Amino acid sequence: MTNEYISPLIERYASKEMSYVFSHDNKFGTWRKLWVALAKGEKEQGLNITDEQIRELEDNVDNIDYEAANRYEKELRHDVMAHVHAYGDQCPNAKAIIHLGATSAYVGDNTDVIVYTQGLLNVRKKLVNCIDKLSKFALEYKDLPTLGFTHFQPAQLTTVGKRASLWIQDLLMDLEELDFVLDTVKLRGVKGTTGTQASFMELFEGNHEKIQKLDEFIAKEMGFKASYAVTGQTYPRKFDSRVCNVLSSVAQSLYKFSNDMRLLQHLKEIEEPFEKKQIGSSAMAYKRNPMRAERIGALARYVVISALNPAITASTQWFERTLDDSANKRIAIPESFLAVDAILNICLNISEGMVVYDKVIKQRIEKELPFMATENIIMQGVKKGGDRQELHERIRIHSMEAGKMVKVEGKENDLIERIKGDPAFNLSEQDLENVLDASKYIGRAPEQVVELFENHIKPILEANADLLGEKGEVNV
């Protein structure tokens, strides 16, 4: 136990993998990799930097002296310069050329882009796995009729698998957005204090081509296609907003999924996994609360709201930069990533172990289907010689009486018995059984599931086969 506050996102919810992405080791190690890349690029463009100096920098990338850095920061009140000095103490031969020509945003902003990209790739891997697991579920239950709901009122039938396909389609849309952001991400590059590259003009004696090549070298060295063509002191804060909008989009989709799961669990049709010794309530021992789905909702709400932070920051930056972004983005963006990581883990866990109660589903259909089948019953009655208008009126009266039996008297729906006993319809028991076959009321639901999988999901899974196999673990 500790007396210090620890974020629940780290302690309870997010994976170690995502926690590492936003760790000090990853952040400050990336700063040092950027300083190595800068030294290499400047040497390549003719500055007096030796191979020995670069090797010294490379040998100490992971050898971060946090005590020295903290000591320097207390004295200098500047985190970047504190780490420059701590790195320099470990690399005495290269000390003079560390951070040469750069501003703090060179390491700070470029590292943020790199870290957010790592985070997005993590999200992408788990998102693809959620699509994979939910697709298996959708295909397994593509033919199982279930009562549809609009406004949470009984509507026409669908299938369990078709409903799951709605969850998957939302996630496919999220994947499209995420891939767009990843395909268009750019580094800040080497742009100087206000984005004009004035310091590099001094270093390279006004040689524009060398500065452009240095910018291109840094991007390539750090694994990116390009840097922004122009910046102020920072990369465009619109990028932060774009990143958090994608995270919000994933959260919205899983929030919808979690709400549906909670409703289905209330209906006793589908339940999330419930472990053998799991306790649903400290007082009510019989309870099986949907705690996983509820946790998705709680964390997703946090992410959706947090997306406002970078949106406001992007819209209130003054000229080339202002510092009211810094403290905010240190909190809002990492925690949004950690929360989305957590809800994806929970989604994986739920989708691996959903329990379907087909008899309950069938029972609910049987209570509502007679009302939905009335048009088909009329058509069958007409085929047996009945008058369409007369049958319509008789079925209206029977429906009202049956509805009264259900709602007022709390009895079973006896509409079919009433129709069976009405000679105007002239329908046998077999005729009515055929009309009440639930599979006749699901339209193209099974085919839609197959088409979605074959045309839209399967190509994604095949292209990302190396990412599949993630397990969803809920630790607490």
pLDDT tens across 124-175, in order? Answer: 999 999 999 999 999 999 999 999 999 999 989 999 999 999 999 999 999 9
pLDDT band at 286 (very low <50, low <70, confident <90, very high): very low
Buried/exposed 41-60: b ≥16 CB within 10 Å, e otherwise: bbbebebebeeebbebbbeb
pLDDT at 412: 84
Place of tokens 């033919």: 143
pLDDT at 476: 66
Q: Which residue has the higher pLDDT, 402 or 142?
A: 142
Mark whether 151 is an active-site residue: yes
Structure tokens at 369: 């289907």
Phi, psi of 247 (to 5 degrees): -65, -40
CA-to-CA dists, residue 465 to 38, 184, 378, angstroms = 36, 23, 52
Number of residues in the chain = 476
Structure tokens at 115: 């870290």
Residues 6+ apart with CB under 8 A from 220: none
CA-to-CA dists, residue 460 to 121, 218, 340, angstroms = 15, 31, 21
pLDDT in tens, 93-109: 999 999 999 999 999 99
Lowest mean pLDDT among 116-125, 239-248, 273-282, 437-446: 273-282
Average pLDDT score over residue span 59-83: 96
Structure tokens at 198: 């004035």
pLDDT value at 384 more than 90: no
The identity of residue 162, as a single letter, is K
pLDDT at 282: 45
Residue 465 has what DSSP assignment? Answer: G
Residue ranges of domains in the chain: 374-435
Question: What is the Cα–Cα distance from 21 to 243, expressed in whole angstroms?
Answer: 15
Residues 6+ apart with CB under 8 A from 51: 43
pLDDT value at 210 more than 80: yes
218 and 41 Cβ atoms separated by less than 8 Å: yes
Average pLDDT score over residue span 463-476: 88
pLDDT in tens, 305-328: 999 999 999 999 999 999 888 899
pLDDT band at 2 (very low <50, low <70, confident <90, very high): low
CA-to-CA dists, residue 371 to 303, 409, 444, angstroms = 42, 18, 21
pLDDT band at 83 (very low <50, low <70, confident <90, very high): very high
pLDDT value at 1 more than 80: no
pLDDT value at 419 more than 90: no
Question: What is the Cα–Cα distance from 243 to 97, expressed in whole angstroms?
Answer: 34
419 and 425 Cβ atoms separated by less than 8 Å: yes
The identity of residue 416, as a single letter, is I
pLDDT value at 285 more than 70: no
374-435, what's its fold? Ribonucleotide Reductase Protein R1; domain 1 (1.10.40)
Q: Which residue has the higher pLDDT, 324 or 239?
A: 239
SS3 153: strand
DSSP 88-99: HHH-TTTGGGTT
pLDDT band at 426 (very low <50, low <70, confident <90, very high): confident
Residues 6+ apart with CB under 8 A from 282: none
pLDDT value at 117 more than 90: yes
User: How high is the mean pLDDT of the chain?
Assistant: 93
In the chain, % helix, strand, coil (3-state, to 5) comes to 65, 5, 30
Q: Which ranges in 326-467 belong to alpha helices (H)?
A: 326-352, 358-372, 374-383, 388-407, 415-420, 429-435, 445-452, 458-463
Q: Which long-range contacts (CB under 8 A, 24 or more apart) does 349-353 make?
A: 349/273, 349/292, 349/472, 349/473, 349/474, 350/261, 350/272, 350/273, 350/292, 350/293, 350/472, 351/130, 351/133, 351/134, 351/137, 351/472, 352/133, 352/273, 352/471, 352/472, 353/272, 353/273
Average pLDDT score over residue span 75-95: 96
pLDDT at 421: 87
Which is the catalytic residue, given 281, 315, 428, 439? 281
